[in-house]
Amino acid sequence: MSLLDVQVPAVLLRIDRNPFHHGTLGAVRSLGRAGVEVHVVADSAGSPVRASRFVHRLHPPPRPGASPGDIAATLLRVAARVARPAVLIPLDDASAIAAGRLREELAPAYLLPQQPGALPERVADKAELAGLCAAAGVPHPVTLVPDSAEDAAASAWRLGLPLVAKWSRPWLVPAGSGLRSTVLVRSAREARELFLRSAEAGSTLLLQTFLPPGPDRDWFCHGYADRTGAVRAGGPGRKHLAWPRGAGLTAVGQWTPNPQITALAERLTRDLGYRGIFDLDFRRCGSTGRYHLLDFNPRPGAQFRLFTDSAGLDVVRALHLDLTHRPLPAGRPLAGRRFVVENYAPLTALRPAPAGRELAWHAADDPAPGRAMWTLWSRRAACRLAGPVTGRLRPRSSPAPAAVPDTAPCLVPTACGPGGTEITDVPDITDITDDFREDEKASSC
């Protein structure tokens, strides 16, 4: 008998266009294995996720940059097809922010945590996060918000070089712009030039003190704050390998007890009155030893399955149990357990893991997504290798290069209206890099 209420479906929502988002597959498997009917509202054409036997139905998502009204209309159309109340699980920041804003409009078709509707947006906004950390007494890198290009250059000198530049609302950065959510700035001139692109980025530029990476310095903490505010499931983890190295997503992570990080996470969520799933990124300062919060993601982190305890509880299952008013089992943490993303750490994936390990893509009970991932990943690699030769300097409107045959297209999903999705060839390497930027974002410089 399942711990979860299998009469209540789950709807997974993702607005970004990253077909290699392994967190989506993790959520599909976590709920599907428990017998829950799983609906995926995401651009999954050309994604290994669609091959999972645990997906009940795929639904076309809102387009990137869709208005709250368009997102609500999409979700209500899905609700009409599901035909009974469902737990809604946003899987990217834009989705989490929209769900928070639309909570009243989506009820009773969807079950969502009860909290102030603007809170997901406040914690995801990196400018607001600095103030929230200061109020809660949670260490955060020194952050300046320049008000002019000249001020950006002067702030760079005040903070010291190199420094970190972030867009306060990275979910607004348009695809195709070449802008990254987070970059390392090595000169005052670079800071000035970035500020001049603020209108293009759609949000405020922040400049932060750079905390250098190093052994045992990059950490994360996942959890679920239940209806009472108690943090359940999840735990602290150490990032052994990131992609890109030293500044990106977790390619190899390990469940590692850390009372300091646990206390910081509980303090911040308690002071904010936060409810729901969270994913926090920390970096330890090499000189002071203090853990600084870098990011607060109001949704599951892609590696959330790392924190699956002895009772089989993870943050996604905790959310479903809590919103359906079922008890959460009391499992014990499985310290030492590892999570490996095979396409970013293939050699690590082949090594034995005595304390236990979960792979992002391969699973014995659901092998098709793993096979599909390697097929699509190989095509993607071929496209990238061909790009510099076949057309990096070509206009974006130019036709697809002859070097990329129709029989092996670069697979990038695009919405084709309410009726479904299609796969199109991508004419140059810039498009590929931008459309896949979410799986390589530098969230922890």
Q: What is the pLDDT of residues 160-175, one digit of tens each?
A: 999 999 999 999 999 8
At 393, the pLDDT band (50, 70, 90 cuts) reads very low
β-partners of residue 219 are 238, 282
At 385, the pLDDT band (50, 70, 90 cuts) reads confident
Query: Of 52-56, 63-67, 123-127, which range is least confident?
Result: 63-67
- Comparing C-alpha atoms, which of 281, 253, 168, 161 is closest to residue 212? 161
Supply the angle between the helices 259-272 and 126-136 in degrees, to the nearest 10.
100
The amino acid at 12: L
* pLDDT at residue 245, as a whole number: 82
- Residues 435 and 361: their CA atoms lie apart, in Å, by 20
Contact 53/25 with Cβ under 8 angstroms?
no
- Residues 424 and 72: their CA atoms lie apart, in Å, by 27
Q: What is the pLDDT of residues 33-50, one digit of tens each?
A: 999 999 999 998 889 999
- Comparing C-alpha atoms, which of 105, 63, 112 is closest to residue 86? 112
At 388, the pLDDT band (50, 70, 90 cuts) reads low
3-state secondary structure of 191: helix
257 backbone φψ class: left, alpha, beta (φ>0; ψ -120 to 50): beta
Decide if pLDDT at 26 tops 80.
yes
Mean pLDDT along residues 80-108: 97
- Comparing C-alpha atoms, which of 46, 42, 50, 103 is closest to residue 74? 42
Query: Of 35-49, 224-238, 406-420, which range is least confident?
Result: 406-420
Decide if pLDDT at 410 tops 70.
no
At 405, the pLDDT band (50, 70, 90 cuts) reads very low
Decide if pLDDT at 400 tops 90.
no
* pLDDT at residue 415, as a whole number: 31
Is pTM, for the whole model, over 0.85? yes
Containing 57, the helix (H) or strand (E) segment is strand 57-59
Is residue 71 classed exposed, middle or buried when 0-12, 13-18 and 19+ CB atoms within 10 A define those classes?
buried
- Comparing C-alpha atoms, which of 346, 345, 236 is closest to residue 293? 236
Mean pLDDT along residues 237-256: 92
At 268, the pLDDT band (50, 70, 90 cuts) reads very high
* pLDDT at residue 149, as a whole number: 98
Work out the mean pLDDT of the chain and round it to a whole number.
88
3-state secondary structure of 345: coil
Contact 151/192 with Cβ under 8 angstroms?
no
- Residues 231 and 269: their CA atoms lie apart, in Å, by 8
Decide if pLDDT at 406 tops 90.
no
- Comparing C-alpha atoms, which of 308, 319, 228, 336 is closest to residue 278? 319
pLDDT-above-90 percentage for the chain: 80
Contact 361/343 with Cβ under 8 angstroms?
yes
At 380, the pLDDT band (50, 70, 90 cuts) reads confident
Contact 24/42 with Cβ under 8 angstroms?
yes
CA terminus-to-terminus distance, the chain: 44
Does 162 sit behind a cis peptide bond, omega within 30 degrees of 0 on the bond before it?
yes
Decide if pLDDT at 347 tops 80.
yes
Decide if pLDDT at 398 tops 80.
no
* pLDDT at residue 64, as a whole number: 85
- Residues 207 and 209: their CA atoms lie apart, in Å, by 7
Q: What is the pLDDT of residues 279-302, one digit of tens each?
A: 999 999 999 999 999 999 999 999
